[in-house]
């Protein structure tokens, strides 16, 4: 799943550890989400969205849906 987490975090000058603390997850979890190696649970995705004041869809993008739309 593609996401804008790294960009949003960088805009606030937060480290992965800073974001992890805000979300109550490990830094490794933040790293894995940013790299697209781990898809967050729905509750975690909503926490991320609330933290940044955005809709879930503005942060996370389903690659399969994106590919279907562009085809």
Query: Could you tell me the CATH number of the domain that includes residue 7?
Result: 1.10.260.40
pLDDT of residue 63: 74
The share of the chain scoring above pLDDT 70, in percent, equals 90
- Averaged pLDDT of the chain: 93
pLDDT of residue 71: 58
Question: How many angstroms separate the Cα of 11 from the Cα of each of 5, 17, 38?
Answer: 10, 15, 22
8 Å CB contact between 16 and 27: yes
Q: Which domain does 15 fall in, by range?
A: 2-70
3-state SS assignment for residue 35: coil
Total number of domains constituting the chain:
1
pLDDT of residue 31: 98
- Over residues 18-49, the pLDDT tens digits come to 999 999 999 999 999 999 999 999 999 999 99
Residues 6+ apart with CB under 8 A from 60: 1, 2, 3, 4, 40, 45
């Amino acid at each position: 799943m593609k996401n804008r987490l790294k960009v949003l975090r960088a805009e606030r000058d937060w480290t992965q550890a800073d974001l992890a603390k805000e979300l109550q997850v490990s830094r490794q979890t933040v790293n894995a989400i940013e790299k697209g190696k781990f898809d967050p649970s729905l509750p975690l995705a909503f926490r991320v969205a609330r933290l940044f004041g955005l809709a879930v869809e503005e942060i996370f993008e389903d690659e399969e849906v994106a590919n279907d739309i562009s085809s």
